[in-house]
Amino acid sequence: MRGPNEVTASAPAKINLHLGVGPVRADGYHQLATVYQAVDVVDRVTVRSAGTYDVTVSGDDRLPLDDIPLDGGNIAVRAARLLGKRHGVQRAVAIHIHKQIPVAGGMAGGSADAAATLVACDALWQLGCSREDLLDVAAELGSDVPFSLVGGTAIGTGRGETVVPAMVRGDYWWVVVESAAGLSTPAVYREFDILHAAGEVPVPELPEPLMEALRNHDVERLGVTLRNDLEDAAIRLRPELGDVLAAGVSATALGALLSGSGPTCVFLCSSTQHASEVSSALLHSGFGPVSLARGPVAGAWVERTG
């Protein structure tokens, strides 16, 4: 049977509501205990059969699209190649990425592109991959890619790649403050290591009060239980992030958090109305670009086949 010519898939950005960072493992990664939430900021990926791999990118003017690699180093190309190799697919694909997720912002934009590419190629090549198969390929591509497939709100362990859905009630509103320049994830982890060089880093644990706040949709409690162990390291590399986080709290946000390894900062709010007020206050104080996001949303999904 002849397959589709073109498939478009989307995948969401993520916030780590809790990012517990533990000791460095033998493979160089840090042991994590994290709680992810997917939010409604999405990248859209279109794949089309082609003679050679090719990447093009479009998106909002505010995003530094020039920083995105257009060659085999792009994680979307790595995703398509790896899936193709596992299933004996000989053809290549041309990949177009329409970006909405901040670039190198700590919101798993690259992982979203990889996850969307996996589900799009699965549909284009009519592989009928099981969820386990896709999750396995995803874990090989990067620590956050499995969560980009799963979405919702989920617990991540291992190096972040072992993902189990969490019990959560209701919607959560976030104000997102981007930075003009991205931060390198390895550089932030390196700074974390320098900060903790003198003492032993404890094994990270899952935060029961935070899990309970999610189960009960207790937004105020959630606000005070948010935690990111990479925050101090990121602030050392970018001191102004401390000012952004403090400004969000002054602007009445229920909680302030660096997203992943940063530099994007997110602020928990009680409603859309509250999020609009916090975002106006942040803009008024000179911080931005500012946008609103809602979570949880689904993981990568196919939008259109043609």
Whole-number minimum distance, CB 290 to ligand C5P, in Å? 26
Active-site choice (43, 113, 122, 144): 144
Rounded (10°) angle between helices 109-124 and 75-86: 40
- When binding is defined by CB under 6 A, the residue of 186, 215, 220, 246 that contacts ligand C5P is 186
Sole window of 88-96, 141-149, 223-231, 242-250 interacting with ligand C5P (rule: CB under 6 A): 141-149
Nearer to ligand C5P, 178 or 229 (CB): 229
In the residue annotation, 193 being an active-site residue is answered as no
- When binding is defined by CB under 6 A, the residue of 106, 142, 152, 204 that contacts ligand C5P is 142
Active-site choice (14, 99, 113, 229): 14
In the residue annotation, 144 being an active-site residue is answered as yes
**Omega before residue 289 within 30° of 0, cis:** yes
Does the footprint of ligand C5P cover residue 204 (CB under 6 A)? no
- When binding is defined by CB under 6 A, the residue of 53, 159, 287, 299 that contacts ligand C5P is 159
Nearer to ligand C5P, 185 or 228 (CB): 185
Does the footprint of ligand C5P cover residue 14 (CB under 6 A)? no
DSSP, residue by residue, 88-102: T---EEEEEEEE-SP
- What distance lies between CA 107 and its chain's CA centroid? 3
Give the position of tokens 């991205």. 182
| Cross-strand pairs, 301 | 10
Query: Please, what's the b/e burial string for 260-283 (b: 16 or more CB within 10 A of its CB; e: otherwise)?
Result: bbbbbbbbbbbeeebbebbbebbe
Does the footprint of ligand C5P cover residue 259 (CB under 6 A)? no
Does the footprint of ligand C5P cover residue 299 (CB under 6 A)? no
Query: Please, what's the b/e burial string for 112-139 (b: 16 or more CB within 10 A of its CB; e: otherwise)?
Result: bbbbbbbbbbbbbbebebeeebbbebbb
- When binding is defined by CB under 6 A, the residue of 16, 74, 117, 143 that contacts ligand C5P is 143
Q: Which residues of this chain interact with ligand C5P, rule CB under 6 A?
A: 29-30, 32, 142-144, 159-160, 185-186, 189
Catalytic residue ranges: 14, 144
